[in-house]
Amino acid sequence: MGIILPIVGIVGSFCLIKYREQVGDMIGEAQWMKNVGGVYILVIIIAVFIFFWSLAELTGTTDVLFGPLKYLIPGMRGRTDTGMEF
């Protein structure tokens, strides 16, 4: 992905956290968001996920970040090469 897009992701995640009220008001609150904690908490969760994904892309450690996902997907537990590139 290079270096530009992860840096944009990190800056974007900070902007999401800083302007979470405006972003949350723009998105609106659905019924299922109340189970998560509300629209503002959902925006924070998304910003944290984008931050860590961007940091992993920047350092080249997405295989470590997404490694536990192979235990959640059936049939991929014993494979060393998943064929999935994030």
Q: How much is the pLDDT for 25?
A: 93
Residue indicated by tokens 């090469």: 81
Tell me the average pLDDT across 21-48: 92
Q: How much is the pLDDT for 56?
A: 92
CA distances from 58 to 6, 10, 11 (A): 6, 10, 13
Instruction: Summarize pLDDT for 11-31 with one digit per residue, the tens.
Output: 999 999 999 999 999 999 899
Spatial separation of the C-alpha atoms in residues 49 and 13, rounded to whole Å: 8
**60 has a pLDDT exceeding 80:** yes
Contact at 8 Å (CB) between 56 and 65?
yes
pTM: 0.77
Spatial separation of the C-alpha atoms in residues 21 and 86, rounded to whole Å: 30
Amino acid at 52: F
* DSSP type of residue 78: S
